[in-house]
Amino acid sequence: MFRLPSSSLVNKVIPKNAFETFANPTEKRQLTAVVAKITWLHKLSPNTINLEGDAVQELQIFQVELKKKQDINGLLKLIDKSIPYHIIFIIQFEHEYYLSVSAKHLHPTNPNNAVIDWTFTTEWKAIELWEHKLELRLNLDHVFNTFCESISGRNTSEKKVIGDLIEYSKKRKELEHKIAQTKSAIDKTTQFNQKVNLNLELQRLRNELLKLIE
């Protein structure tokens, strides 16, 4: 998967019950029924890769193996909130995977909890199609921000600023949602004039999305 220095290797299994303190009954059942194993694969920090960070002081990589193919974004958020450091999750079921990583900050009154600002995820893919990498240079903020950008679908030569990337991702998600809603409305509409107006709106939204991702 990620080709990282051996100095960053942890390869330690984390007991699922380590997160039960933070879980509600439904989440506890899901941890048992869906998650097979959680492995802490790597720790990227000043001590392991000789890179400092500001907002990102450490970057952890967790592999979550599943008993069945299912998005577990709620459980990932649970784990993310309980750990103050940033985490890249590799969620795997058999020969498929998806990635998830969240921008977050410490809770202002509870330093043991984190607040999720935005979560970036990929679609499910075959393991053999793995093409992700971590750019280990400059500092840990750059490593994290560049990776988030790579899975967000936004590629720019501008300075990697996580706040800008979050705003971009929110806008893109909003436009994609509106496009899906408009297409559904077109399919359901029988009135010609209404179809024309909806098609014009669909074209406007698509143009706005294309302009955003250019």
* pTM of the complete model: 0.79
**pLDDT of the residue at 160:** 61
Region of 65 (left: φ > 0; alpha: ψ -120 to 50; beta: rest) is beta
Distance in angstroms between the alpha carbons of the first and the last residue of the chain: 29
**pLDDT of the residue at 111:** 66
Q: Where are the domains of the chain?
A: 6-160, 169-213
Give the angle subtended at the CA of 91 by the CAs of 85 and 66, to the nearest 5°. Answer: 120
For 95, which DSSP code?
T
**pLDDT of the residue at 108:** 78
Burial 132-151 (b: 16+ CB within 10 A, else e): eebebeeebbbbbbbbbbbb
Q: pLDDT tens digits, the chain, 214 residues: what are they?
A: 889 999 999 999 999 888 888 888 988 999 999 999 999 999 999 999 999 999 899 999 999 999 999 999 989 999 998 888 999 999 999 999 999 999 988 877 776 678 888 899 999 999 999 999 999 999 999 999 999 988 887 665 555 678 788 888 888 888 889 999 999 989 888 888 888 888 888 888 988 888 877 6
Alpha-carbon gap, residue 73 to 46, rounded angstroms: 29
**pLDDT of the residue at 120:** 92
